[in-house]
Structure 1
Amino acid sequence: MATESNDYYDILGVSRDADAEQIQRAYRTLARRHHPDVNKAPGAEDRFKKINEAYNVLSDPGRRRKYDQFGDAWRQIPDDFEQAAGRTGAGAWDRAAAGAGGGRGGARGFRSGRAAGGVVDVEDLFESLFGGRAGGPRGFGPVRGADTEAELTISVEDAFHGGRRKVTLPAPSGGTREYEVTIPRGVTEGSRIRLAGQGGSGADGGPRGDLYLRVHLAPHPRYRVKERDITVDLPVAPWEAALGATVPLATPDGVVRVHAPPGTPSGRRLRLRGKGMPNPRGDPGDLYANIKIVVPPKLSDEERRLLEQWARVSTFDPRRMG
């Protein structure tokens, strides 16, 4: 029986030389497909966690370099590894990698902590680079941890109302962790939510970095969101469109009454000012009701008689141009 690969590139389905845009595009496609709010299949949540973890590493240039160099052992390498290595001399990385089983070019080939010459001793690697053990570089003083970023997919309703929510995301040190996140009311696609002190660990007593959650709105069966404007279909009966009617419409903020004027054609957009996404710092978006005329699937005898009478007396020709 085939075993699912734990390689981050395989999980996202991208090549090892994929650029940042390709990685983000692959992540968004997979995250929306496997998000627990969308996909209820067994194993979807675990798959979603793996996708998040892979993206959290490969979307961060520093982490990705460590992963490419050290494979699964990348978690043992501190966030300021390259900065400290640079201060010990331009050739420090090459010397350390050579001591671990190959030069810089060869080091890229080892996975799960193995090089061509055998198992990589992370302790020896740190001693070669920093003159100390893997507890961290010596002599540089407290170093703040790296800021990290993860993707957070939420529903349109959660984005509209905001509030607190528990989410499971990749932890900076590897694996997953549950966070309690305050979602701002009216948050939009692509916005970032900052979780102070939840990023990478600091070195030599330095503070942790911050974790930034980039927000994505999950596809919704009814609402289509563009920036702060929301579009929703409004089904009406033929007689309501012809005679005019005030009909109910469900929105993220509750049911509202919408007036369709007499002679409203299918496809007309009715604008409801200020009924779109809230904006704590300015004007809210608008909501657009897209008229969709719905014909009864089956007519009663009386309905058929009245429609036939209407057809006889009407001079309207929908195919006449001009």
Structure 2
Amino acid sequence: MDSIVSVIMQAGRTGIELALYVLLPIMVVMLALMKLLEARGVLAWVANALAPVLRIFGLPGLGIFAMVKLLLVSFSAPVATLALMDRNGTSSRHIAATLAMVLTMSQANVVFPMLSVGLNLPVIMATSVIGGLFAASVTYYLLARASASEPAVEVPVIVPGERRGTIEILAEGGQEGMKIALASLPILILALCFVYTLQASGAITLISAVLAPLLALLGLPEAAVLPIVTKFIAGGTAFMGVVLDLMNQGLISAADLNRMAGFVTNPLDLAGVAIMTAAGKRVGRVARAAVWGALAGMLLRGMLHLLIF
């Protein structure tokens, strides 16, 4: 019983420190700025301006909106865009391409807090865009061709008509950022509790022994097994918590983090897919094609990171 309580206390302490001292300030500032850009029509202008370019990769104009929200807000931010596309008549083929792109790219709630420990922002952003567009193209032109008979409806992004004060907008965005950070606390603690239980039971030692040759081939230490397993089971936020803890212990370096970042800083995991596909019935129907496209994009990103670092 003492060991169980010890695991829970350790997970709770680590989760609270990450949520309050790392995730909270980053999300408050980033979401406040995003809210201001959205209210002033900057995001809508960029989305409509890039629509012709995105169309080459099988993405509608709203696709850039989903991309920016993922890269600058959090992994759950594009859900609202996917829900809008589900309702407004956007073709299933375009929805599949957008979902594949979102599942491939890095989410802000993981990337920005990890900049403090050496994650390379220019590279992570560049590979996100390259991998996301590649995943969208593969999905649109190959994996979702069965939906080609649907009309390719595209709805422009509307510039907000309501004018509000800058301070009011920033405060609203900051409050939303605070909600995201605090909402991540329960799942973060539960995921860390699960991870520490795996460590205490010896399961991670067994998995590490099996995966050690593959990790050595990729130039990663055996300690990388724990965050990688955590990511695909519990999601990106839990991955971040485990990595930061291991880096504090000196078991993983900044170079190791950047080498595996292309494979793991994305919403392509059990939790992420479940949340994204809940955006609407048509989104759920194209999920299989989108996941396969996202896997292709993730592999491309991962290889790029291994080559660069």
TM-score, with structure 2 as normaliser: 0.23
Structure having the higher Rg: 1
Comparing both structures, which one devotes a greater share of its residues to strand? 1
Name the structure where helix makes up a greater proportion of residues: 2
